[in-house]
Amino acid sequence: MAEHLLIGGITPFSTVDWPGKLACVAFLAGCPWRCPYCQNHALQSFGAATLDERDLYGFLEARHGLLDGVVFSGGEPLAQAATIDAMRHVRELGFQVGLHTCGCYPGRLADALPLVDWVGLDVKAPWDAYERVARVAATGELVRRSLELILESGVDMEARTTWHPHLLSPEDIATIGHDLAGRGVRTWAIQAYRHAGTTGELADETVYPSEVPAGLAELFETYEFRRA
């Protein structure tokens, strides 16, 4: 018997989690990383699940014509093999599929991409500095591979970088931006650190658009600096 999808919660309506779409968001349990700015740290544990795929499908049955799609978020949605079957079923129900991922499961991402309409990929640091943020070794190479897979697939995507001044310098931001643009990423968002909802490990400091190195925004078709 297939394993159930471990869901920590469902946001019924969101206009911000998938730009341009009205979507519900399924927050899946489980993540192997420990980013100090995580705002869903309770969901790092698979044990945080309170719902499963039957709750999601039941919710969607009553939302035909009201929602464009479902964003699989988390936690890390691809930490569960059951996510692939759930994406397929959501499509069969007539909804589009969005994915928020940190890119740490490129193999499972390859299976998911044919089922996905849009990806929000976290790009947390320069590739060789990932451990500074993810707190797990050898993670940058996995994300770089995931990014390559998304770009090869042609699936619509947004790269997003959360910026805390103690984790990334302006030079790091420039390195990330130039790398992404050089690979063909067209949409990039810098997200200023938000203290609310974190464990409080990081100082409550933020960054401002004026701190973004000059010339980066122009490298992208769509660029956004998001404030809390």
Identity of the residue, 40 or 161, whose beta carbon is nearer to ligand SF4 in the bound complex: 40
H-run or E-run covering 30: none
| Least distance from ligand SF4 to the Cβ atom of residue 45, Å | 11
Query: Whose Cβ is closer to ligand SF4: residue 56's or residue 167's?
Result: 167
Identify which of residues 76 and 158 has a Cβ nearer to ligand SF4 in the complex.
76
Q: Which H or E run includes 176?
A: helix 170-183
CB of 159 to ligand SF4, least distance (A): 14
Q: Which is nearer to ligand SF4, 21 or 160 (CB)?
A: 160
| Residue 123: closest CA among 80, 171, 158 | 158
DSSP code at position 124:
-
State the binding string over 136-155 for ligand SF4 (x if CB under 6 A, else -): --------------------
C-alpha 196/C-alpha 208 separation (Å) is 17
Q: CB-wise, 75 or 98, nearer to ligand SF4?
A: 75
Distance of closest approach, residue 170 Cβ to ligand SF4, in angstroms: 22
Which of residues 28, 84, 102, 115 is near ligand SF4 by CB under 6 A?
102
Cα distances from 6 to residues 23, 78, 100, 199, in angstroms, run 19, 11, 16, 23
Residue 125 binding ligand SF4, by CB under 6 A: no
d(C-alpha 108, C-alpha 184), whole Å = 22
Q: Find all residues with CB under 8 Å of 106, minimum gap 6, and list them.
A: 142, 145, 146, 149
Q: Which residues have CB under 8 Å from 32's CB, separation 6+? A: 76, 79, 104, 136
- Does 69 bind ligand SF4 (CB under 6 A)? Our answer is no
Question: For ligand SF4, which is the closer residue by CB, 40 or 83?
Answer: 40
Do 55 and 6 contact (CB within 8 A), yes or no?
Answer: no
Among 35, 56, 71, 176, the residue binding ligand SF4 under the rule CB under 6 A is 35
Residue 38 lies near ligand SF4 (rule: CB under 6 A)? yes
When asked if residue 76 is in the footprint of ligand SF4 (CB under 6 A), the reply is: yes
Peptide bond preceding 75: is omega within 30 degrees of 0, i.e. cis? yes
> Is residue 33 close enough to count as binding ligand SF4 by CB under 6 A?
yes
Residues that bind ligand SF4 (CB under 6 A): 31, 33-35, 38, 40, 44, 74-76, 102
